[in-house]
């Protein structure tokens, strides 16, 4: 998947885009890690009971030149996309998902379209 200007997670009615004011140090402050390719990667559990329970994850990857990003919710291994807006634990997972995204919005990393 190529880096995009706008992204929408499966099941989420909102679309997000990279904030034009994003800075590399802000990414590192929030917890993004540099990958071997030089991109910035963030993986967070959307389980509201424990950040260590990695059943479903929010994965955000920002291009090394800050020109675009990828965002998806995946299973624990990251090899399959999942819709956290459906299922028995949807309410708690969605609340945690929005909490993580709000932190990224507050830090001027992403913004709602």
CATH code that applies to domain 6-108? 3.30.1820.10
DSSP state of 81: B
User: Per residue of the chain (113 residues), what is the pLDDT tens digit?
Assistant: 589 999 999 999 999 999 999 999 999 999 999 999 999 999 999 988 877 777 899 999 999 999 999 999 999 888 899 999 998 888 999 999 999 999 999 999 999 98
Q: Which long-range contacts (CB under 8 A, 24 or more apart) does 27-33 make?
A: 27/62, 27/109, 29/107, 30/103, 30/104, 30/107, 30/109, 32/60, 32/62
**Is residue 18 within 8 Å of residue 68, measured between CB atoms?**
yes
* Order of strands across the sheet that contains 6-7: 6-7, 16-18, 110-112
**Boundaries of every domain in the chain:** 6-108
């Amino acid at each position: 998947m190529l880096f995009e200007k706008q992204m929408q997670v499966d099941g989420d009615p909102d679309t997000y885009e990279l904030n034009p004011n994003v800075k590399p140090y802000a990414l590192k402050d929030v917890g993004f890690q540099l990958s071997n390719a030089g991109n910035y990667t963030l993986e967070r559990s959307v389980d509201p009971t424990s950040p260590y329970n990695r059943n479903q994850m929010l994965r955000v990857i920002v291009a090394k030149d800050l020109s675009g990003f990828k965002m998806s919710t995946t299973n624990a291994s990251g090899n399959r996309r999942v819709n956290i807006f459906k299922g028995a634990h949807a309410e708690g997972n969605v609340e945690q998902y929005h909490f993580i995204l709000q932190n990224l919005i507050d830090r001027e990393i992403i913004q709602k379209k």
